[in-house]
Chains A and B, each alone.
Chain A
Amino acid sequence: ETGVTQTPRHLVMGMTNKKSLKCEQHLGHNAMYWYKQSAKKPLELMFVYNFKEQTENNSVPSRFSPECPNSSHLFLHLHTLQPEDSALYLCASSPRRAGRGNTIYFGEGSWLTVV
């Protein structure tokens, strides 16, 4: 059981669809993240939110739109995706104490298939 819950676990969508991935953390953390994990590629950090404010966007295409309404919830809105966007999308959270060494806690991921 993880303190970071992602839904849905599996999603199949067409290229013209609009869907959303949801993440909720029960750990009292103030930083939340979206990562993309593709086959045979290192984990890619997509977005970082700290106290609901976006602090990092790693040149992610605009067809991915994050939303962080509060420190416990994070969404990833998806529209007009491409087949190459098929991947495992991991949500994570961490405390945001000053100094390095904060542990990042991951959810179980949402498997996305774009057809």
Chain B
Amino acid sequence: AQSVTQLGSHVSVSEGALVLLRCNYSSSVPPYLFWYVQYPNQGLQLLLKYTSAATLVKGINGFEAEFKKSETSFHLTKPSAHMSDAAEYFCAVSENDYKLSFGAGTTVTVRA
């Protein structure tokens, strides 16, 4: 079975600082990995996904994630945080062609 672990349920950054959200996965097959974002009072929106092509994946809103097989990680980064990045972020791994297993989520707050 596949699973993900998000390290840190809450991350606080200053505006303009680096955003780093950690995700480690466990998978018995080559993983397909996703990052979703949930803004307040909204559903989940896809930020980016890794499907075994390039290990550095660029997503929307300036986010990117790097797949590192040796570390079983798929950490999400953004060089410079904006106030609008305040949201909850979910890492997920694809178990089959329709099912995702989600992490517990990391809430990001951005300080002015």
The 0/1 profile, CB within 8 Å of A marked 1, for residues 46-82 of chain B is 1001010000000000000000000000000000000
- Residues of A in contact (CB 8 Å), total 29
SS class, residues of chain B in contact with chain A: loop
SS class, residues of chain A in contact with chain B: loop
Q: Check if B14 is an interface residue, CB within 8 A of chain A.
A: no
- Residues of B in contact (CB 8 Å), total 23
| Contact status A48-B97, CB under 8 Å | no
A-side residues, CB < 8 A to B, are: 2, 4, 6, 31, 41-43, 45, 48, 50, 55-56, 90, 92, 94, 96-109
Q: What are the 10 A-B residue pairs with the smallest beta carbon separation, nearest first?
A: A106-B43, A100-B94, A101-B51, A101-B32, A106-B44, A43-B102, A100-B32, A108-B43, A42-B104, A109-B43
